[in-house]
Chains A and B, each alone.
Chain A
Amino acid sequence: MSINHLLAIPGAGIALQALGSLIAVLLVFALVRALGMGSDVRIADEAEARALAEEARCGFDPVEVALDRARIGALLRNSAGEVMLIRRHGARFAARVLSSHAGARLDRGFLTLSTDDPHFGSITLDLGERAQVWAASLRRLGAAA
Protein backbone atom coordinates (compact mmCIF):
# COMPACT_ATOMS: atom_id res chain seq x y z
CA MET A 1 0.00 0.00 0.00
CA SER A 2 1.50 3.35 -1.04
CA ILE A 3 1.54 6.43 1.17
CA ASN A 4 -1.07 8.02 -1.10
CA HIS A 5 -3.44 5.09 -0.57
CA LEU A 6 -2.82 5.30 3.16
CA LEU A 7 -3.57 9.02 3.27
CA ALA A 8 -6.78 8.46 1.32
CA ILE A 9 -8.27 6.62 4.32
CA PRO A 10 -10.56 9.04 6.25
CA GLY A 11 -8.77 10.38 9.31
CA ALA A 12 -5.43 8.87 8.26
CA GLY A 13 -3.81 12.28 7.91
CA ILE A 14 -4.68 13.26 11.49
CA ALA A 15 -3.65 9.82 12.77
CA LEU A 16 -0.24 10.04 11.06
CA GLN A 17 0.25 13.58 12.32
CA ALA A 18 -0.62 12.42 15.84
CA LEU A 19 1.79 9.49 15.55
CA GLY A 20 4.59 11.79 14.40
CA SER A 21 3.85 14.18 17.27
CA LEU A 22 3.85 11.29 19.75
CA ILE A 23 7.26 10.17 18.56
CA ALA A 24 8.57 13.75 18.87
CA VAL A 25 7.11 14.01 22.40
CA LEU A 26 8.78 10.78 23.47
CA LEU A 27 12.12 11.91 22.03
CA VAL A 28 12.01 15.20 23.96
CA PHE A 29 11.01 13.24 27.10
CA ALA A 30 13.97 10.91 26.62
CA LEU A 31 16.26 13.92 26.19
CA VAL A 32 15.10 15.62 29.40
CA ARG A 33 15.35 12.35 31.28
CA ALA A 34 18.84 11.66 29.92
CA LEU A 35 19.94 15.13 30.96
CA GLY A 36 18.80 14.32 34.49
CA MET A 37 16.77 17.48 34.83
CA GLY A 38 14.48 18.08 37.78
CA SER A 39 16.56 18.32 40.90
CA ASP A 40 16.53 15.85 43.80
CA VAL A 41 14.50 18.04 46.13
CA ARG A 42 14.54 17.54 49.90
CA ILE A 43 12.94 19.44 52.76
CA ALA A 44 15.88 21.26 54.29
CA ASP A 45 14.48 21.76 57.78
CA GLU A 46 11.37 22.38 59.85
CA ALA A 47 11.18 25.97 58.64
CA GLU A 48 10.91 24.81 55.04
CA ALA A 49 8.28 22.25 56.01
CA ARG A 50 6.28 25.03 57.67
CA ALA A 51 6.63 27.19 54.57
CA LEU A 52 5.43 24.32 52.39
CA ALA A 53 2.43 23.85 54.68
CA GLU A 54 1.64 27.55 54.43
CA GLU A 55 1.84 27.31 50.65
CA ALA A 56 -0.47 24.32 50.65
CA ARG A 57 -3.01 25.98 52.91
CA CYS A 58 -2.71 29.61 53.87
CA GLY A 59 -3.12 29.83 57.65
CA PHE A 60 -2.45 26.17 58.47
CA ASP A 61 -0.03 27.30 61.22
CA PRO A 62 1.64 24.05 62.28
CA VAL A 63 2.57 23.64 65.94
CA GLU A 64 4.35 20.31 65.53
CA VAL A 65 6.53 19.04 62.69
CA ALA A 66 8.06 15.64 61.96
CA LEU A 67 10.50 15.30 59.09
CA ASP A 68 11.28 12.11 57.28
CA ARG A 69 14.94 11.18 57.80
CA ALA A 70 15.62 11.42 54.06
CA ARG A 71 13.65 14.70 54.00
CA ILE A 72 11.35 13.52 51.24
CA GLY A 73 8.22 14.17 53.29
CA ALA A 74 6.86 15.57 56.51
CA LEU A 75 3.92 15.45 58.88
CA LEU A 76 2.63 18.63 60.47
CA ARG A 77 -0.06 19.20 63.07
CA ASN A 78 -1.81 22.50 63.74
CA SER A 79 -3.45 23.72 66.93
CA ALA A 80 -6.85 22.53 65.70
CA GLY A 81 -5.50 18.97 65.58
CA GLU A 82 -5.46 18.75 61.80
CA VAL A 83 -2.56 16.81 60.29
CA MET A 84 -0.99 17.65 56.95
CA LEU A 85 1.10 15.22 54.96
CA ILE A 86 3.69 16.71 52.63
CA ARG A 87 5.45 14.51 50.16
CA ARG A 88 7.78 14.94 47.25
CA HIS A 89 6.16 15.03 43.85
CA GLY A 90 8.73 15.05 41.07
CA ALA A 91 10.90 18.09 41.68
CA ARG A 92 8.23 19.79 43.80
CA PHE A 93 6.12 18.98 46.87
CA ALA A 94 2.42 18.30 47.27
CA ALA A 95 0.32 18.13 50.42
CA ARG A 96 -2.92 16.76 51.77
CA VAL A 97 -4.69 17.28 55.07
CA LEU A 98 -5.42 13.80 56.41
CA SER A 99 -9.06 13.05 57.10
CA SER A 100 -8.62 9.75 58.90
CA HIS A 101 -5.98 7.30 60.03
CA ALA A 102 -7.41 4.56 57.81
CA GLY A 103 -4.41 4.73 55.47
CA ALA A 104 -1.77 4.68 58.24
CA ARG A 105 0.46 1.64 58.77
CA LEU A 106 3.22 1.52 61.37
CA ASP A 107 6.28 -0.68 61.03
CA ARG A 108 8.77 0.17 63.78
CA GLY A 109 10.17 3.57 62.82
CA PHE A 110 8.41 3.65 59.50
CA LEU A 111 4.95 5.14 59.07
CA THR A 112 3.22 4.47 55.75
CA LEU A 113 0.46 6.91 54.92
CA SER A 114 -2.12 7.13 52.18
CA THR A 115 -4.90 9.66 51.89
CA ASP A 116 -8.52 9.63 50.75
CA ASP A 117 -7.22 10.72 47.34
CA PRO A 118 -6.06 7.51 45.61
CA HIS A 119 -4.18 9.47 42.95
CA PHE A 120 -2.04 11.13 45.59
CA GLY A 121 -0.48 7.76 46.34
CA SER A 122 1.10 6.60 49.56
CA ILE A 123 4.41 7.41 51.16
CA THR A 124 6.50 5.71 53.81
CA LEU A 125 8.09 8.18 56.20
CA ASP A 126 11.10 7.21 58.27
CA LEU A 127 10.28 9.03 61.48
CA GLY A 128 12.41 6.91 63.82
CA GLU A 129 11.23 6.94 67.42
CA ARG A 130 8.59 9.54 66.66
CA ALA A 131 6.72 7.21 64.30
CA GLN A 132 4.83 5.49 67.13
CA VAL A 133 3.79 8.76 68.71
CA TRP A 134 2.50 10.11 65.40
CA ALA A 135 0.76 6.84 64.56
CA ALA A 136 -1.02 6.92 67.90
CA SER A 137 -2.06 10.54 67.46
CA LEU A 138 -3.40 9.89 63.96
CA ARG A 139 -6.01 7.58 65.50
CA ARG A 140 -7.80 10.68 66.73
CA LEU A 141 -8.49 11.70 63.14
CA GLY A 142 -11.85 11.10 61.45
CA ALA A 143 -14.61 8.60 61.93
CA ALA A 144 -12.48 5.67 60.87
CA ALA A 145 -10.36 6.06 63.99
Chain B
Amino acid sequence: MNEMTASLLAALASPITQPIDVIAFAVPAFVALILIEIAWARRHAPEAYEARDMLTSLLMGLGSTIAGALVAGAIYAAATWLYAHRVATVPYAWWSWIAVLVLDDFNYYWAHRTGHRVRWFWAAHVNHHTSQHYNLSTALRQTWTGPLALSFVFRIWPAFVGVPPEMLLTAGAANTVGQFWIHTEAVRRMPAWFEWIFNTPSHHRVHHATNPIYLDRNYAGVLMIWDRLFGTFQPELDEEPARYGVIRQLGTFNLLHSVFHEWKGMLKDFASAPWRYKLAYLVREPGWSHDGSRDSSDTIRARWMERNGYLTSDEPQRMADEGIAVSHP
Protein backbone atom coordinates (compact mmCIF):
# COMPACT_ATOMS: atom_id res chain seq x y z
CA MET B 1 0.00 0.00 0.00
CA ASN B 2 1.55 3.29 -0.99
CA GLU B 3 1.57 6.38 1.16
CA MET B 4 -1.19 8.15 -0.71
CA THR B 5 -3.59 5.21 -0.39
CA ALA B 6 -2.78 4.88 3.28
CA SER B 7 -3.47 8.54 3.95
CA LEU B 8 -6.74 8.36 1.97
CA LEU B 9 -7.91 5.35 4.01
CA ALA B 10 -6.91 7.14 7.20
CA ALA B 11 -8.89 10.22 6.13
CA LEU B 12 -11.97 8.13 5.37
CA ALA B 13 -11.69 6.49 8.77
CA SER B 14 -11.61 9.86 10.53
CA PRO B 15 -14.92 11.19 11.84
CA ILE B 16 -16.07 14.50 10.37
CA THR B 17 -17.74 17.07 12.58
CA GLN B 18 -19.81 18.78 9.88
CA PRO B 19 -21.34 17.58 6.58
CA ILE B 20 -18.98 18.39 3.71
CA ASP B 21 -20.58 20.94 1.39
CA VAL B 22 -19.74 19.01 -1.77
CA ILE B 23 -22.09 21.13 -3.87
CA ALA B 24 -20.28 24.37 -2.99
CA PHE B 25 -16.99 22.79 -4.13
CA ALA B 26 -18.64 21.67 -7.38
CA VAL B 27 -20.15 25.03 -8.37
CA PRO B 28 -17.09 26.24 -10.34
CA ALA B 29 -17.17 22.96 -12.28
CA PHE B 30 -20.92 23.42 -12.92
CA VAL B 31 -20.32 26.89 -14.36
CA ALA B 32 -17.37 25.71 -16.48
CA LEU B 33 -19.33 22.75 -17.87
CA ILE B 34 -22.33 24.94 -18.71
CA LEU B 35 -20.06 27.32 -20.63
CA ILE B 36 -18.49 24.38 -22.49
CA GLU B 37 -21.95 23.02 -23.33
CA ILE B 38 -23.07 26.45 -24.57
CA ALA B 39 -20.02 26.52 -26.87
CA TRP B 40 -20.91 23.01 -28.10
CA ALA B 41 -24.58 23.93 -28.59
CA ARG B 42 -23.73 27.07 -30.54
CA ARG B 43 -21.90 24.95 -33.08
CA HIS B 44 -23.98 21.77 -33.11
CA ALA B 45 -27.44 22.43 -31.65
CA PRO B 46 -28.35 26.14 -31.29
CA GLU B 47 -31.89 25.20 -30.29
CA ALA B 48 -30.60 23.34 -27.21
CA TYR B 49 -30.39 26.61 -25.28
CA GLU B 50 -32.99 29.32 -24.98
CA ALA B 51 -31.95 32.35 -22.94
CA ARG B 52 -35.19 32.85 -20.97
CA ASP B 53 -35.56 29.14 -20.29
CA MET B 54 -31.99 28.99 -19.04
CA LEU B 55 -32.50 32.07 -16.89
CA THR B 56 -35.54 30.44 -15.27
CA SER B 57 -33.53 27.27 -14.63
CA LEU B 58 -30.62 29.11 -13.07
CA LEU B 59 -32.84 31.32 -10.90
CA MET B 60 -34.68 28.24 -9.71
CA GLY B 61 -31.31 26.75 -8.84
CA LEU B 62 -30.35 29.88 -6.93
CA GLY B 63 -33.67 29.90 -5.08
CA SER B 64 -33.30 26.24 -4.27
CA THR B 65 -29.85 26.87 -2.80
CA ILE B 66 -31.22 29.65 -0.60
CA ALA B 67 -34.21 27.52 0.49
CA GLY B 68 -31.83 24.63 1.17
CA ALA B 69 -29.52 26.81 3.25
CA LEU B 70 -32.46 28.03 5.32
CA VAL B 71 -33.66 24.52 6.20
CA ALA B 72 -30.34 22.65 6.19
CA GLY B 73 -29.98 23.15 9.93
CA ALA B 74 -33.40 21.65 10.61
CA ILE B 75 -32.71 18.60 8.44
CA TYR B 76 -29.32 18.14 10.09
CA ALA B 77 -30.98 18.44 13.50
CA ALA B 78 -33.60 15.83 12.54
CA ALA B 79 -30.89 13.41 11.37
CA THR B 80 -28.90 14.10 14.54
CA TRP B 81 -31.97 13.37 16.66
CA LEU B 82 -32.44 10.04 14.85
CA TYR B 83 -28.75 9.26 15.36
CA ALA B 84 -29.07 9.99 19.07
CA HIS B 85 -31.73 7.25 19.20
CA ARG B 86 -29.86 4.85 16.91
CA VAL B 87 -30.06 1.09 17.26
CA ALA B 88 -26.51 0.47 16.01
CA THR B 89 -23.38 2.43 15.09
CA VAL B 90 -21.78 2.49 11.66
CA PRO B 91 -18.08 3.33 11.96
CA TYR B 92 -16.14 5.72 9.75
CA ALA B 93 -14.20 3.54 7.29
CA TRP B 94 -13.64 3.37 3.54
CA TRP B 95 -16.18 0.58 3.20
CA SER B 96 -18.85 2.40 5.22
CA TRP B 97 -18.46 5.47 2.96
CA ILE B 98 -19.08 3.26 -0.08
CA ALA B 99 -21.98 1.49 1.62
CA VAL B 100 -23.60 4.80 2.60
CA LEU B 101 -23.18 6.24 -0.89
CA VAL B 102 -24.95 3.18 -2.33
CA LEU B 103 -27.64 3.21 0.37
CA ASP B 104 -28.30 6.91 -0.17
CA ASP B 105 -28.60 6.31 -3.91
CA PHE B 106 -31.12 3.55 -3.19
CA ASN B 107 -33.05 5.97 -0.98
CA TYR B 108 -32.85 8.59 -3.71
CA TYR B 109 -34.45 6.15 -6.15
CA TRP B 110 -37.48 5.69 -3.88
CA ALA B 111 -37.71 9.38 -2.99
CA HIS B 112 -37.58 10.20 -6.69
CA ARG B 113 -40.07 7.50 -7.66
CA THR B 114 -42.44 8.74 -4.98
CA GLY B 115 -41.78 12.26 -6.24
CA HIS B 116 -43.36 11.22 -9.53
CA ARG B 117 -46.10 8.91 -8.28
CA VAL B 118 -47.51 10.81 -5.29
CA ARG B 119 -48.90 14.22 -6.13
CA TRP B 120 -47.86 15.76 -2.80
CA PHE B 121 -44.21 15.04 -3.58
CA TRP B 122 -44.70 15.75 -7.31
CA ALA B 123 -45.84 19.27 -6.41
CA ALA B 124 -42.34 19.86 -5.07
CA HIS B 125 -40.43 17.92 -7.73
CA VAL B 126 -42.29 18.98 -10.89
CA ASN B 127 -40.18 22.18 -11.01
CA HIS B 128 -37.24 20.14 -12.21
CA HIS B 129 -39.22 18.93 -15.21
CA THR B 130 -40.81 22.16 -16.41
CA SER B 131 -38.18 23.05 -18.99
CA GLN B 132 -38.84 22.00 -22.58
CA HIS B 133 -35.08 22.02 -23.08
CA TYR B 134 -32.56 19.54 -21.80
CA ASN B 135 -29.18 20.97 -20.99
CA LEU B 136 -26.89 21.37 -18.01
CA SER B 137 -28.83 24.40 -16.81
CA THR B 138 -31.85 22.11 -16.47
CA ALA B 139 -29.90 20.17 -13.83
CA LEU B 140 -29.96 23.29 -11.66
CA ARG B 141 -33.74 23.76 -12.05
CA GLN B 142 -34.32 22.45 -8.56
CA THR B 143 -37.12 22.50 -6.04
CA TRP B 144 -37.71 25.27 -3.54
CA THR B 145 -40.39 23.34 -1.71
CA GLY B 146 -38.87 19.87 -1.30
CA PRO B 147 -38.18 20.40 2.41
CA LEU B 148 -41.76 21.64 2.85
CA ALA B 149 -43.01 18.39 1.29
CA LEU B 150 -40.79 16.51 3.82
CA SER B 151 -39.21 14.47 1.03
CA PHE B 152 -35.96 14.41 3.04
CA VAL B 153 -37.43 11.69 5.29
CA PHE B 154 -36.53 9.20 2.57
CA ARG B 155 -32.88 10.18 2.93
CA ILE B 156 -32.26 10.63 6.68
CA TRP B 157 -33.66 7.39 8.14
CA PRO B 158 -30.25 5.61 7.98
CA ALA B 159 -29.21 7.84 10.90
CA PHE B 160 -31.55 5.71 13.02
CA VAL B 161 -29.59 2.58 12.12
CA GLY B 162 -26.35 4.26 13.01
CA VAL B 163 -25.07 6.16 9.98
CA PRO B 164 -23.50 9.41 11.23
CA PRO B 165 -25.59 12.38 10.02
CA GLU B 166 -22.47 14.12 8.71
CA MET B 167 -21.64 11.11 6.55
CA LEU B 168 -25.24 10.80 5.40
CA LEU B 169 -25.67 14.44 4.37
CA THR B 170 -22.28 14.45 2.65
CA ALA B 171 -23.34 11.37 0.66
CA GLY B 172 -26.60 13.14 -0.26
CA ALA B 173 -24.73 16.18 -1.55
CA ALA B 174 -22.35 13.95 -3.52
CA ASN B 175 -25.37 12.23 -5.07
CA THR B 176 -26.72 15.59 -6.24
CA VAL B 177 -23.36 16.52 -7.77
CA GLY B 178 -23.16 13.10 -9.44
CA GLN B 179 -26.39 13.79 -11.30
CA PHE B 180 -25.36 17.10 -12.83
CA TRP B 181 -23.51 15.83 -15.89
CA ILE B 182 -26.36 13.59 -17.10
CA HIS B 183 -28.51 16.59 -18.07
CA THR B 184 -27.17 17.03 -21.57
CA GLU B 185 -27.82 16.16 -25.20
CA ALA B 186 -24.13 16.56 -25.97
CA VAL B 187 -23.36 12.99 -24.89
CA ARG B 188 -25.18 10.36 -26.92
CA ARG B 189 -24.18 7.05 -25.35
CA MET B 190 -21.52 5.91 -22.90
CA PRO B 191 -19.85 2.47 -23.23
CA ALA B 192 -22.36 -0.39 -22.81
CA TRP B 193 -20.99 -1.56 -19.45
CA PHE B 194 -21.23 2.00 -18.12
CA GLU B 195 -24.80 2.40 -19.42
CA TRP B 196 -25.72 -0.85 -17.65
CA ILE B 197 -24.45 0.19 -14.23
CA PHE B 198 -24.70 3.97 -14.12
CA ASN B 199 -27.27 6.62 -14.88
CA THR B 200 -26.22 8.41 -18.06
CA PRO B 201 -27.39 11.28 -20.29
CA SER B 202 -29.21 8.73 -22.46
CA HIS B 203 -31.09 7.16 -19.54
CA HIS B 204 -31.92 10.51 -18.02
CA ARG B 205 -33.17 12.00 -21.30
CA VAL B 206 -35.79 9.26 -21.12
CA HIS B 207 -36.67 10.33 -17.61
CA HIS B 208 -37.21 13.96 -18.66
CA ALA B 209 -39.18 13.06 -21.78
CA THR B 210 -42.91 13.42 -22.27
CA ASN B 211 -43.16 10.77 -25.00
CA PRO B 212 -45.80 8.34 -23.68
CA ILE B 213 -43.42 5.38 -23.68
CA TYR B 214 -40.89 7.30 -21.61
CA LEU B 215 -43.26 8.64 -18.93
CA ASP B 216 -42.38 7.78 -15.34
CA ARG B 217 -39.31 5.73 -16.16
CA ASN B 218 -35.64 5.80 -15.10
CA TYR B 219 -35.84 7.27 -11.61
CA ALA B 220 -32.20 6.46 -10.82
CA GLY B 221 -29.83 8.94 -9.27
CA VAL B 222 -26.32 7.63 -9.92
CA LEU B 223 -26.77 3.85 -10.23
CA MET B 224 -29.09 2.57 -12.96
CA ILE B 225 -29.37 -0.82 -11.29
CA TRP B 226 -32.35 0.27 -9.18
CA ASP B 227 -34.55 0.82 -12.23
CA ARG B 228 -33.47 -2.52 -13.68
CA LEU B 229 -34.20 -4.18 -10.34
CA PHE B 230 -37.59 -2.58 -9.70
CA GLY B 231 -38.97 -2.71 -13.24
CA THR B 232 -38.89 0.98 -14.19
CA PHE B 233 -36.06 0.92 -16.71
CA GLN B 234 -36.67 2.15 -20.25
CA PRO B 235 -33.83 2.50 -22.76
CA GLU B 236 -33.73 5.49 -25.08
CA LEU B 237 -34.99 4.47 -28.53
CA ASP B 238 -33.34 5.96 -31.60
CA GLU B 239 -36.68 6.13 -33.42
CA GLU B 240 -38.35 7.93 -30.52
CA PRO B 241 -36.40 11.16 -29.91
CA ALA B 242 -37.13 12.59 -26.49
CA ARG B 243 -39.38 15.63 -26.15
CA TYR B 244 -38.96 17.34 -22.83
CA GLY B 245 -41.08 19.02 -20.21
CA VAL B 246 -44.34 18.12 -18.55
CA ILE B 247 -47.51 16.70 -20.06
CA ARG B 248 -49.25 20.09 -19.83
CA GLN B 249 -46.40 22.39 -20.84
CA LEU B 250 -46.39 25.58 -18.80
CA GLY B 251 -46.15 27.94 -21.77
CA THR B 252 -44.52 30.57 -19.57
CA PHE B 253 -41.09 31.45 -18.18
CA ASN B 254 -42.65 32.98 -15.06
CA LEU B 255 -40.37 31.92 -12.21
CA LEU B 256 -42.90 31.83 -9.39
CA HIS B 257 -45.49 30.05 -11.52
CA SER B 258 -42.88 27.44 -12.42
CA VAL B 259 -42.12 26.90 -8.74
CA PHE B 260 -45.60 26.89 -7.25
CA HIS B 261 -48.08 25.95 -10.01
CA GLU B 262 -48.57 22.35 -8.97
CA TRP B 263 -49.05 23.23 -5.30
CA LYS B 264 -51.70 25.71 -6.38
CA GLY B 265 -53.41 23.18 -8.64
CA MET B 266 -53.30 20.43 -6.04
CA LEU B 267 -54.70 22.61 -3.27
CA LYS B 268 -57.43 23.85 -5.59
CA ASP B 269 -58.40 20.25 -6.37
CA PHE B 270 -58.24 19.39 -2.67
CA ALA B 271 -60.54 22.26 -1.78
CA SER B 272 -63.11 21.53 -4.48
CA ALA B 273 -63.16 17.71 -4.25
CA PRO B 274 -65.90 15.80 -2.41
CA TRP B 275 -64.77 14.93 1.12
CA ARG B 276 -64.12 11.27 0.45
CA TYR B 277 -61.75 12.08 -2.41
CA LYS B 278 -59.81 14.94 -0.83
CA LEU B 279 -56.94 12.82 0.49
CA ALA B 280 -56.63 11.02 -2.84
CA TYR B 281 -55.84 14.34 -4.54
CA LEU B 282 -52.77 14.56 -2.31
CA VAL B 283 -51.55 10.97 -2.36
CA ARG B 284 -52.61 9.54 -5.72
CA GLU B 285 -50.52 9.85 -8.86
CA PRO B 286 -50.42 13.18 -10.75
CA GLY B 287 -53.27 13.34 -13.25
CA TRP B 288 -55.59 11.19 -11.15
CA SER B 289 -59.11 12.56 -10.73
CA HIS B 290 -62.09 11.10 -8.93
CA ASP B 291 -64.28 11.31 -12.03
CA GLY B 292 -61.62 9.90 -14.38
CA SER B 293 -61.70 13.05 -16.50
CA ARG B 294 -57.92 13.55 -16.55
CA ASP B 295 -54.92 11.69 -17.86
CA SER B 296 -52.16 10.17 -15.77
CA SER B 297 -48.92 8.81 -17.19
CA ASP B 298 -50.41 5.30 -17.00
CA THR B 299 -53.51 6.16 -19.04
CA ILE B 300 -51.44 8.07 -21.62
CA ARG B 301 -48.99 5.20 -22.04
CA ALA B 302 -51.83 2.66 -22.31
CA ARG B 303 -53.56 4.76 -24.99
CA TRP B 304 -50.32 5.22 -26.91
CA MET B 305 -49.56 1.50 -26.83
CA GLU B 306 -53.08 0.65 -27.96
CA ARG B 307 -52.88 3.16 -30.82
CA ASN B 308 -49.56 1.73 -31.92
CA GLY B 309 -50.54 -1.89 -31.49
CA TYR B 310 -48.05 -2.70 -28.76
CA LEU B 311 -48.85 -5.25 -26.09
CA THR B 312 -45.96 -4.53 -23.74
CA SER B 313 -43.78 -1.49 -23.17
CA ASP B 314 -40.58 -3.36 -24.11
CA GLU B 315 -41.99 -4.19 -27.54
CA PRO B 316 -40.71 -1.05 -29.32
CA GLN B 317 -37.19 -1.85 -28.10
CA ARG B 318 -37.51 -5.51 -29.13
CA MET B 319 -38.71 -4.50 -32.58
CA ALA B 320 -35.86 -2.02 -32.92
CA ASP B 321 -33.36 -4.70 -31.84
CA GLU B 322 -34.74 -7.05 -34.47
CA GLY B 323 -34.49 -4.40 -37.16
CA ILE B 324 -38.25 -4.04 -37.56
CA ALA B 325 -39.24 -0.51 -38.54
CA VAL B 326 -41.09 1.24 -35.76
CA SER B 327 -43.29 4.10 -36.87
CA HIS B 328 -45.81 6.17 -35.02
CA PRO B 329 -48.65 8.32 -36.23
Q: Which of A29, A92, A121 contacts B132 (CB 8 A)?
A: A92
Q: Closest CB-CB distance, A11 to chain B, in whole Å? A: 9
A8 on the B face (CB < 8 A):
no
Q: Closest CB-CB distance, B307 to chain A, in whole Å? A: 6
A63 on the B face (CB < 8 A):
no
Chain B contact residues: helix, strand, loop or mixed: helix
> Which of B51-59, B87-95, B282-290 lies at the binding interface?
B51-59
- Could you say which residues of chain B place their CB within 8 Å of the CB of A21? 62, 65
In the complex, A80 Cα to B327 Cα: how many Å? 26
A117 on the B face (CB < 8 A):
yes
> Which of A53-61, A98-106, A134-142 lies at the binding interface?
A53-61
- Also in contact, A39 and B249, with CB within 8 A (given A18-B66, A58-B304): no
In the complex, A95 Cα to B212 Cα: how many Å? 17
> Which of B5-13, B39-47, B175-183 lies at the binding interface?
B39-47
Check B307 against A120 for contact (C-beta < 8 Å).
no
In the complex, A35 Cα to B46 Cα: how many Å? 9
Q: Which of B41, B46, B51, B252 has most A Cβ within 10 Å?
A: B51
Q: Which of B35, B251, B329 contacts A121 (CB 8 A)?
A: B251
Cβ proximity bits A37-81 to B, threshold 8 Å, 1 near / 0 not: 111010000000000001111110000000000000000000000
Instruction: Give residues of chain A (1-32) contacting chain B, Cβ–Cβ below 8 Å.
Output: 14, 18, 21-22, 24-25, 28-29, 31-32
In the complex, A38 Cα to B133 Cα: how many Å? 10
Check A38 against B46 for contact (C-beta < 8 Å).
yes
- Could you say which residues of chain B place their CB within 8 Å of the CB of A58? 212, 295, 300, 303-304, 307
In the complex, A113 Cα to B69 Cα: how many Å? 43
Check B243 against A55 for contact (C-beta < 8 Å).
yes
Q: Closest CB-CB distance, A124 to chain B, in whole Å? A: 15
Cβ proximity bits B51-83 to A, threshold 8 Å, 1 near / 0 not: 111110011001001100100000000000000
Check B210 against A55 for contact (C-beta < 8 Å).
yes
Check B38 against A32 for contact (C-beta < 8 Å).
yes
- Could you say which residues of chain A place their CB within 8 Å of the CB of B304? 58-59
Check B252 against A41 for contact (C-beta < 8 Å).
no
- Could you say which residues of chain A place their CB within 8 Å of the CB of B58? 25, 28-29
Check A119 against B53 for contact (C-beta < 8 Å).
no
Residue on A nearest B249 in the bound complex, by CB: A94
- Could you say which residues of chain B place their CB within 8 Å of the CB of A54? 329
Task: For chain A, give the interface size range.
Answer: 35 or more
Q: Closest CB-CB distance, B190 to chain A, in whole Å? A: 26
Q: Closest CB-CB distance, A75 to chain B, in whole Å? A: 15
In the complex, A24 Cα to B32 Cα: how many Å? 12
B271 on the A face (CB < 8 A):
no
Residue on B nearest A119 in the bound complex, by CB: B252
- Also in contact, A35 and B42, with CB within 8 A (given A25-B59, A58-B304): yes
- Could you say which residues of chain A place their CB within 8 Å of the CB of B29? none
- Could you say which residues of chain B place their CB within 8 Å of the CB of A130? none
- Could you say which residues of chain A place their CB within 8 Å of the CB of B228? none
Residue on B nearest A34 in the bound complex, by CB: B51
- Could you say which residues of chain A place their CB within 8 Å of the CB of B31? 24, 28
In the complex, A56 Cα to B52 Cα: how many Å? 22
Q: Closest CB-CB distance, A104 to chain B, in whole Å? A: 17
Check A120 against B252 for contact (C-beta < 8 Å).
yes
Check B212 against A39 for contact (C-beta < 8 Å).
no
Check A41 against B55 for contact (C-beta < 8 Å).
no
- Could you say which residues of chain B place their CB within 8 Å of the CB of A14? 66, 69
- Could you say which residues of chain A place their CB within 8 Å of the CB of B59? 25
Check B52 against A94 for contact (C-beta < 8 Å).
no
Check B249 against A91 for contact (C-beta < 8 Å).
no
Check B52 against A28 for contact (C-beta < 8 Å).
no
- Pull 16 A–B residue pairs with CB atoms less than 8 Å apart, ordered by A: A25-B59, A28-B54, A31-B35, A37-B46, A37-B50, A39-B46, A55-B211, A58-B295, A59-B303, A59-B304, A89-B251, A90-B50, A91-B53, A95-B249, A120-B251, A121-B252
* A residues apposed to B, CB below 8 Å: 14, 18, 21-22, 24-25, 28-29, 31-33, 35-39, 41, 54-59, 87, 89-96, 117, 119-121
